[in-house]
Structure 1
Amino acid sequence: MTVFAKQLKDLERLAFQVSPAPQLITGNRVMLDCNEAFLELFGYEREELLGHLTLLIYPSQADYKTIGNRSQNWLRNSQSGSYSDERFMQHKSGEVFWARSHGYSLTPDDPFKLMVWHFERMDRPHHATVNLTPREREISMHIVNGLTCKEVAKKLAISHRTVEVHRARLMKKLQAKNSAELVSKIIVVS
């Protein structure tokens, strides 16, 4: 390898590591490499992620499976080799947050074999598959993070009774029978 080629390779590596866009390289859904912005977004150290399934950054196994199937089907039937969506992801602390993700397969014949992903944290979902009001989406973000109606009310500076009404509407819209099912459905529906 020439000196110039080595310098170019070093610059490419540096550009990836310091890019402000959180990026992840996966092989069959195993995390192979990531940059500093990705580590900051998810709260992990590099050693805690590399070699592990991306399941680690999903809020639930059901979510991991559903999104995996959906993205793999899309990639297999798409000419572009890319996939984008909005979904819940999970920080190391356990906080669930809304993110936009973009993936690009480097191996179109076997899409998950080698992929590059970009993630972007969002304040709230913009394209939910269930018709939720902006306030319901806002409250749902707090519910999936384990806050009670009183805690949500305090954070949003509204009455806890108002939060209870919105929570009841969420339960009805998502056909949830209890709190655990509500959280699960908020995560999966998104």
Structure 2
Amino acid sequence: MATSPPMGRELMALAFEYSASAIVVTQKRRILECNHAFCDLFEYPRSELVGQLMLKLYPCFADFKTIGDRGYKEMLRTPNYADERFMQTRTGEVFWAKTRGRTLTPEAPFDLAVWTFIKIDVRPQGANQLSMREREISSFIANGLTCKEIARQLGISHRTVEAHRARIMKKLDCRNTAEMVSRIIQLS
């Protein structure tokens, strides 16, 4: 006996679950639901994501806060938001992601929102040579923080940050800050 194809809400649930796009539904920046592609992208089982703050997927708290503040302000103006940012997998790999979101509660944008993530897979020369600390510092640099601000965030000397910054510039073969930020943005 043949079974009939799924209809209505059942079909929509299947489309969400098996979409090739990484999709997550959040409430106050906490994961309510996510699909297989999202779990695969971040290398987590669904059970370790649902109920967690999105902070779990950011390389550092500063990125979570800065991007959140910027997104919230924009979503008060329009229900849609898009950017590119660093994200982090379960294994600690930091990658550059293109993110699009839509609030379902425009008066309070983070009360309920739907987000998609796409990994941007471009590696500039030298990207594989960056240490985890250099990747962490590069994410702050890409977000416009000075060496002193980064040092305060990480609880280290600004001279140490300057040394890391110099190594990042050398490894990425950059001549100036603008070129370095451009290359950092291409890191995956």
Normalising by structure 2, we get a TM-score of 0.68
Q: 1:28 to 1:123 in 2, by over 3 A?
A: same
Separation in 1, partners of 2:74, 2:174: 29
Name the residue aligned to 1:112.
110
Deviation at 1:45, TM superposition (A): 0.5
SS at match of 2:83: strand
State the number of aligned residues: 146
Separation in 1, partners of 2:96, 2:32: 23
Deviation at 1:142, TM superposition (A): 4.7
Name the residue aligned to 2:95.
97
Name the residue aligned to 1:74.
74
CA RMSD, Structure 1 to Structure 2 (Å): 3.1
SS at match of 1:38: helix
Q: Structure 1 residue 37 and structure 2 residue 37: aligned?
A: yes
Equivalent pair of 1:16/1:35 in contact (CA under 8 Å): yes
Equivalent pair of 1:103/1:115 in contact (CA under 8 Å): yes
Residues 31-86 of structure 1 show CA distances to partners (whole Å, capped at 9, x for unaligned) of: 000000000000001110000100000000000000000100111123xx000000
Name the residue aligned to 2:120.
122
Matches within 5 A, 1:10-89: 10-78=10-78, 81-89=79-87
Separation in 1, partners of 2:129, 2:112: 34
Separation in 2, partners of 1:48, 1:146: 25
Matches within 5 A, 1:149-164: none
Q: 1:167 aligns with which of 144, 158, 171?
A: 171
Normalising by structure 1, we get a TM-score of 0.67
Deviation at 1:139, TM superposition (A): 3.0
Deviation at 1:173, TM superposition (A): 2.4
Runs (4+) of structure 1 exceeding 2 A deviation are 138-142, 144-147, 163-174
Structure 1: tracts of 5 or more residues without a match: 1-5, 125-133, 148-162, 175-185
SS at match of 2:69: helix
Structure 2: tracts of 5 or more residues without a match: 1-5, 135-166, 179-183
